[in-house]
Amino acid sequence: MEHIEYLLATLSGTRLALPLDLVLSVNEPAPITPLPFCPRHVQGLVFVQDRVMPLMDLAGLLGLPARSPASATSLVILANGDDVRALEVDHVVAMVAVDAATVQTPAEPEKATAFLAQRLSARGENWLVLDYVRLATDTRMDAEGLIEDGALVPADPVGLADLEERTEETAVDRIAHLLIDIGADRFALPTAIISEVLEPVDLRHMPAAPAWVAGLMQHQETPLLVVRADALLSPDTPADHVAVTTTADSIALRILDPATGRAFALLADRAPGLLSLSPDEIFSTDDAIAGISRYAVVDERILAIIEPLALVGERLADVERLTPQGQHHGLAQMPMPDVAAARTAAARPGYRFLTLRIRDEFFAIDLDRVDSILSTVRLSPLPDGGNGFDGLADAGDKVVPVLDLRRRLTGQPSPDDTPPCVLLQLEGSTAGLAVDQVLRIEDVAAEDLDEVAEQSGLPVHAVARVRDRLMAVLTLDRLLPRRIH
């Protein structure tokens, strides 16, 4: 059975499915630079991931109602060969894999346009499939295709800078942080305190609950209290409870207090990424304000670091009181062995993975080895065979060696020369893995992890059951070559 993967998004009230194999990255909206004598299908130029590219008027091309640029929440970068463009969408919903046989002609003939000639069903809704290859072909962006419009789209100015010999960095402890958005603000949370990242499905309102309580959700057949991060961060939240509206991007971070075994979930608007911070990037204050006593400075941007237990603070007793308990299993009566087990489970980094896609296969790597994630990189060849690496990449403040996992695992070159890259800690230095797609952080229970028999030549040490998939857990020390200093 052949499956096709799509990125689901909405635009001007229309549900669209974009072919995932053509998607390079999903980014926040970028400022638009007007283009003189711009073709009708181009809104202007945007600078994303260190390259200039045209921003298409997708709504106009599809004949959809005009929309305000301010309504866009995501910028989707797609590539058809060397033709790279940006599309603004109102909302990115999810990534799905569907049976190829279920992709059919739309039931609504008026929507069966040249670029929306098929549809699929996912998440209980119908989605129109964007024929991006035809769209790119019919709206050419080279000089020949634009000559009648009198416009000139500049060539990609990005080149590989001269690489200087880099000095080895002193090995430092780095701490993985999850980036979360709450309203218009962005924060960071240490991943060590997060036991699971959940979707707030079927969130039930609790009558007469405090304003900082979002409601209850079911988790492993047990009610889980969900608290509002926005209300806890604001001291002026009104006393009356306000109904909470969640979106497809909303997340509930399950927080486990290892000292007491208490668990609750922290509601946030979305989680845009992962960041690994070193001690010299973190600054402390003497007085904690609303659970924030530390700040990170990254790329001249200041991020407040939330400590969830401190954010809840004195309300922890209320969390216990408001969480429904079994008839004989209240938290106050939890036996010490269970508390010890909860403490051990919260501290096991081996059960937290970052999931990846290579062609049609899915893999997982230990999260504690991840330094950061780059949406795209350009590889520069290495001399003398590269000592086992496939190239060098500019990671902003340094140049790192990169192993092209796509070529290494499939034995074939990849058509994408600007892949996403996961930066890892390797023997006190940083190395990269080029992949087809970075998916998400997953927590895997012990019973869902099966060890693989010891084989020195196999770069896999376990198989994890993640949602409805089996994923090989890569052994990085066997996969990555040893650095030669």
Q: Which pTM value belongs to this model?
A: 0.45
How far is Cα of residue 252 from the mean position of the Cα atoms in its chain?
15
Does residue 164 belong to any structural domain of this protein?
A: no
Does residue 92 belong to any structural domain of this protein?
A: yes
Each residue of 358-403: pLDDT tens digit? Answer: 888 888 998 888 888 888 888 888 776 657 788 888 887 788 888 8
> Are the C-beta atoms of 45 and 35 separated by less than 8 Å?
yes
∠ Cα 353 357 363 (to 5°) = 40
Does residue 475 sit in helix, strand or coil? coil
Residue 96 belongs to a domain with what CATH number?
A: 2.40.50.180
Q: Are residues 116 and 248 in the same domain?
A: no
Helix (H) or strand (E) holding 230: helix 229-233
Residue 318 is classified by DSSP as H
What does the DSSP assignment read for 14-31? Answer: EEEEEEGGGEEEEE---P
Band of pLDDT at residue 38, cut at 50, 70 and 90: low
Beta bridge partners of 223: 218
Does residue 61 belong to any structural domain of this protein?
A: yes
> Are the C-beta atoms of 295 and 302 separated by less than 8 Å?
yes
Q: Give the residue from 301, 317, 346 where a domain finishes.
A: 346
Band of pLDDT at residue 219, cut at 50, 70 and 90: confident
Q: Which domain holds residue 426?
A: 350-479
Q: Are residues 127 and 256 in the same domain?
A: no
Q: Are residues 36 and 71 in the same domain?
A: yes
Does residue 299 belong to any structural domain of this protein?
A: yes
Q: Are residues 105 and 251 in the same domain?
A: no
Q: Are residues 7 and 125 in the same domain?
A: yes
Each residue of 98-117: pLDDT tens digit? Answer: 888 888 876 554 444 678 88
d(Cα 153, Cα 49) in Å, to the nearest integer?
18
> Are the C-beta atoms of 293 and 188 separated by less than 8 Å?
no
Does residue 162 belong to any structural domain of this protein?
A: no
Nearest to 294, CA basis, from 397, 373, 190 = 190
Q: Are residues 465 and 322 in the same domain?
A: no
Q: Are residues 21 and 140 in the same domain?
A: yes
How far is Cα of residue 193 from the mean position of the Cα atoms in its chain?
19
Does residue 154 belong to any structural domain of this protein?
A: no
Q: Are residues 283 and 334 in the same domain?
A: yes
Q: Give the residue from 305, 325, 346 where a domain finishes.
A: 346
Q: Are residues 27 and 116 in the same domain?
A: yes
Q: Are residues 324 and 362 in the same domain?
A: no
Q: Show the tokens assigned to 424.
A: 């890892």
Nearest to 444, CA basis, from 231, 163, 195, 257 = 195
d(Cα 380, Cα 372) in Å, to the nearest integer?
20
Number of domains in the chain: 3
> Are the C-beta atoms of 386 and 404 separated by less than 8 Å?
no
Q: Give the residue from 149, 166, 191 where a domain finishes.
A: 149
Each residue of 464-480: pLDDT tens digit? Answer: 888 778 888 888 877 77
Q: Are residues 186 and 321 in the same domain?
A: yes
End-to-end CA distance of the chain: 48
pLDDT at residue 92, as a whole number: 82
- Across the chain, mean pLDDT equals 75
The one-letter code for the residue type at 391 is G
Does residue 163 belong to any structural domain of this protein?
A: no
Does residue 166 belong to any structural domain of this protein?
A: no
CB-based contacts of 109: which residues, under 8 Å, 6+ apart? none
Q: Are residues 135 and 181 in the same domain?
A: no
